[in-house]
Structure 1
Amino acid sequence: MRVAIIGAGVAGLTTAKVLLQAGHEVEVFDRTPDVGGVWSRTRRYPGLTTQSPKAQYSFSDFPMPKDLPEWPTGEQVQAYLKAYAWHFGVDACLRLETTVTSVVPSNGGWDLTTHTGTTYRYDRVVVANGVFCEPAVPAFPGRDEFEAAGGQVLAGTEFHDAEEARGKHVLVVGYGKSACDVTVPISKVAASTDVIARQLLWKVPRKIAGVVNFKMLLLTRMGEALFRYRFVRGFEKVLHGPANRMRRSMLNSLGSVSVKQYGLAQHDLVPSGQMEDIVKGAIGLATEGFFEGVADGSIRVRRDMTVDRLKSGGAILSDGTVLPADLVVCATGFTQGVPFLPDDVQARLFDERGNFALYRQIQPIGVPGLYFNGYNSSFFSPLNAEMAALWIAADLAGALSLPDDAARQADVTAQLAFMDEATNTHHCRGTKIIPFSLHNADEVLSDLGLQIGRGTRASHWLNPVAPSAYRKVTPQLLARLEARASDVRVDVKSK
């Protein structure tokens, strides 16, 4: 088949790689001049690093170079993805600096139109533009006055050089990972750096107590099992039953360590609730140098505050505090959208609350020939995207035996209701699967009738999950699809 993939980030590249190996004709569209998605040079902000260590933030069959640091920079990740595209021949399929403006179903296929006005015909379309596609910047009252006086308001993805902050009074709006990441380099050159935090979030140290790598605790099957999933099986029944007190103690002890390790109490930065509530906000990795900057005074966190309005040369906070400001950097999240799809198609993509209603985070119900990948943001994003790519390849080949539309719709509804409760609706409109990354991979592989070995899975309960453990899954599926295709050819020939 001819397949169009919209987006050349992690999900788009691995989908292209798998579909090429399955024998399809593939073209990958991206509006940026390079591959990488969020890692593109057009979107990287100073201080950007991975949230997961390199061993976990990699594809199963293409490990990151050994000489990279444990948490690679944005530039290093982009180079890795570029090498991945070249290694698997995806680079020949790229249509970079090409914005997709319209994707319309037509006679069993899809007509895709770009910003140049050119229309292409495809049998299938995979949307892989990502859940961190469009930055959400607050509509600050007084922005016109602020900018007329020379002030700047930028999304985090628009801030590319710390030198832009040199000698300026800077406000960083947000308290997630990207906000803390960008704050550190800004604080080294700015006249003042204030972080406006509407809500404090728990931060997990990269090295707990300065010794234990956080991946040993949270990037294992045991770590994931500490959070109750929709279906509780095996040892999870023990953790959320007889051992529930121990489970809660394990999680909350991380909070105690974090408070002590970063001196949060002294700086009035202890989040409300307990560490076990971390999933209800955002699971964030502490940025190296951030709390050190708080301690030495180069970074000031204004907790439980918002920007009430901007004015010439400054900002007024929700408590009436007036701060000098020349530059406002907004690390305030993203919107997830597919503006290139027609209204009648979009109406079938969302539930009544605007959540993406995708089976396995991949397939919209009642829209044949359309798939999504990368709408499963996780600690193991490359691995989850790779597993989704296999699912798509199998469905294209007619090799999946799935429940009917009604059953799949009921499953999607139940999954969203569960995530509402588990994350207090903080699941990026149904596109975030943290902290249930491995459960998602298990479900996708179950649909495919594939799985890694029992011994390997067992080892992942105590050891960080290695995507390389899944490297045999792709060739196994491709062999199965080839055998299926051969059987079909023989059957057609015999007739």
Structure 2
Amino acid sequence: MSSAAKVAIIGGGPTGLAIGRELNAAGIDFVLYEAEADFGGVWNSEGDSGRTYPSLHLISPKSNTQFPDFPMPAEYPDYPNHRLMLAYLRSYAARFGLYERAQFGTRVERLEPHAQGWQVHVAQGGREFHELVVICNGLQRTAYFPSIPCTGFAGEILHAADYKSPDQLRGKRVLVIGGGNSGCDIATDAVHHAERVYHSTRRGYYYQPKFIHGMPTALWMREIAERFSSKEGFWQHVLETFKVASFDGADYGLPKPDYPISAAHPIMNSHVLFHIGHGDIVPKGDVVALVEGHAQFADRSREQVDMVIYATGYSRNLSFIDPQLLQWRDGIPDLFLHCAPRNHDNLLCMGFVNAAGGLGDAAKIQGNFVLNYARAFLAKTRGLEEFNEAKCSQQVDLGQEHFIKSRRHLWEADLWKYLAQIRTYSNMLKNV
């Protein structure tokens, strides 16, 4: 394998693997740069990129998460744990010849435009030229900390990225900040190890059980969807069912959401409301300050805490590109379809979009899109010209306007709209 391949993939997590699988099958010359010693991305517990802890399981069922052309083993449970997920990804990489295409322990430090392509500089001091670069370094790269005043607070402050074991919580008064899936997971972990657990959320949320009627909730939703003639009727039935199953946060004294259930990324957790109802988790509102040994909240209450865990999300990491080389909108790169810079035809950012529904189909379709893009780009086809014209003149509907306005949802898309648009433009790229 030549390291000066025509195409470079940066990142060996699920999206990078899915793209590599399609390029490899089509005989397109590429190299995959992976900073860690093996594949896995966030599922690689041994790497700096790992975001795992012992209790971590998938939040989407295996049927939604597996690659369509590589099913998970039959003996896997509905929601595999992170160790099973990692083993699955690596078996996928082995099956489709991706280990032979990878350069492990190779961290990309800088991308520089050069001769209608990019010079890829790596931490070890080398550099290689590639005509097309596909960035797949993941959603959860750089820990995000909101601006909360901290004066004389002597306790320990962590981000969810630093949470590796419940032993870190043992015997402590823990405050978890953030109402997403990681925040709920860590708060429920803390119940069994910490002296006291507080969970700060800034709004009302919809909490979804992982099972309804004896099946994974996502599969149950898919099964019943055909009974309803409107989305409104479908979601009303879902909410009524969740309430009967005791998954209405308002019944536990939590704020009622002021937005539709479909307007936010789902929180899949069967335990957080249970523990709130038992007094094991004390729900709190916004944190306004950390002062000495206390957290102060928007309702003017204060609690003694000696560990704070920010489960407040991540920023995509494009620090290896000069920001002036990209166009920006709302504080994030302006990417057509959340993947294609409008001012570069030799750069793609894949796997940056958030969409509820699981990895599998989305990864496969993104892989096919990159394959068609690479073919069009390398051959300089009419399809590439049409795509470049479209990305500079069109604003496609990915459902963004339906979601609540928050930092968390800047990259959010309606899965079905996103997949439909990706297919449309993937077909456009086939034009010769």
The match for 2:239 is 255
TM-score by length of 1: 0.77
Identity %: 23
Cα distance in structure 1, aligned partners of 2:387 and 2:277: 57
Which range is displaced more, 389-398 or 421-430? 421-430
The match for 1:50 is 58
Pick aligned residue for 1:318 from 293, 298, 301: 298
Which range is displaced more, 330-339 or 40-49? 40-49
The match for 1:461 is none
Pick aligned residue for 1:216 from 205, 214, 219: 219
Retained in 2: the 8 A contact 1:46–1:185?
no
| RMSD of equivalent CA atoms | 2.8
Matched, 1:368 2:345: yes
Pick aligned residue for 1:394 from 352, 358, 372: 372
* Aligned-partner residue type, residue 281 of structure 1: A
Write the deviation string for residues 127-180 of structure 1: whole angstroms up to 9, x where unpaired. Answer: 10122222212233226x22xx3x211111210000110111001111111111
Alpha-carbon offset, residue 260 of structure 1: 3.6
Write the deviation string for residues 426-477 of structure 1: whole angstroms up to 9, x where unpaired. Answer: 58565322xx323322333334449xxxxxxxxxxxxxxxxxxxxxxxxxx9
Cα distance in structure 1, aligned partners of 2:275 and 2:409: 33
The match for 2:160 is 156
Cα distance in structure 2, aligned partners of 1:309 and 1:428: 22
Retained in 1: the 8 A contact 2:136–2:349?
yes
Cα distance in structure 2, aligned partners of 1:40 and 1:432: 24
Cα distance in structure 2, aligned partners of 1:219 and 1:122: 42
Retained in 1: the 8 A contact 2:316–2:352?
no
Structure 1 stretches of at least 4 aligned residues deviating more than 4 Å after TM superposition: 219-223, 426-430
Secondary structure of the residue aligned to 1:401 is helix
Cα distance in structure 2, aligned partners of 1:27 and 1:328: 41
User: What does 1:151-300 align with in structure 2 at a 5 Å threshold?
Assistant: 151-208=155-212, 210-211=213-214, 213-219=216-222, 222=225, 243-244=229-230, 247-262=231-246, 264-269=249-254, 271-273=256-258, 277-285=260-268, 287-300=269-282
User: What does 1:55-94 align with in structure 2 at a 5 Å threshold?
Assistant: 55-94=63-102
Matched, 1:98 2:69: no
Alpha-carbon offset, residue 368 of structure 1: 1.8
Retained in 2: the 8 A contact 1:29–1:96?
yes
Retained in 1: the 8 A contact 2:35–2:105?
yes
Alpha-carbon offset, residue 194 of structure 1: 0.8
Change (3 A) 1:33 1:300: farther
* Aligned-partner residue type, residue 377 of structure 1: N
Pick aligned residue for 1:4 from 8, 11, 29: 8
* Aligned-partner residue type, residue 216 of structure 1: L
Change (3 A) 1:92 1:314: farther
Write the deviation string for residues 319-364 of structure 1: whole angstroms up to 9, x where unpaired. Answer: 22221212111111111231111233223xx33x234433333322
The match for 1:381 is 359
Alpha-carbon offset, residue 248 of structure 1: 1.7
Write the deviation string for residues 5-26 of structure 1: whole angstroms up to 9, x where unpaired. Answer: 1111111111112112221232
Retained in 2: the 8 A contact 1:6–1:12?
yes
Larger relative helix fraction = 1
Paired residue total: 417
Write the deviation string for residues 368-423 of structure 1: whole angstroms up to 9, x where unpaired. Answer: 21112102332232321221121111122126725354432332x3436x51x211
Alpha-carbon offset, residue 101 of structure 1: 1.3
Cα distance in structure 2, aligned partners of 1:93 and 1:174: 39
Unaligned stretches of 5+ residues in structure 1: 227-238, 451-476, 485-495
Retained in 2: the 8 A contact 1:127–1:371?
yes
Secondary structure of the residue aligned to 1:75 is helix
* Aligned-partner residue type, residue 163 of structure 1: D
The match for 1:345 is 325
Cα distance in structure 1, aligned partners of 2:26 and 2:85: 26
Retained in 2: the 8 A contact 1:401–1:447?
no
Secondary structure of the residue aligned to 2:367 is helix
Matched, 1:133 2:141: yes
Retained in 2: the 8 A contact 1:128–1:372?
yes
* Aligned-partner residue type, residue 243 of structure 2: V
Secondary structure of the residue aligned to 2:65 is coil
Which range is displaced more, 378-387 or 9-18? 378-387
Pick aligned residue for 1:441 from 411, 419, 424: 419
Secondary structure of the residue aligned to 1:415 is coil
Secondary structure of the residue aligned to 1:11 is helix
Secondary structure of the residue aligned to 2:53 is coil
Write the deviation string for residues 96-153 of structure 1: whole angstroms up to 9, x where unpaired. Answer: 333211011100121011222221221210010122222212233226x22xx3x211
Change (3 A) 1:389 1:400: farther
Change (3 A) 1:266 1:371: closer
Retained in 1: the 8 A contact 2:199–2:282?
yes
TM-score by length of 2: 0.88
Retained in 1: the 8 A contact 2:387–2:425?
no
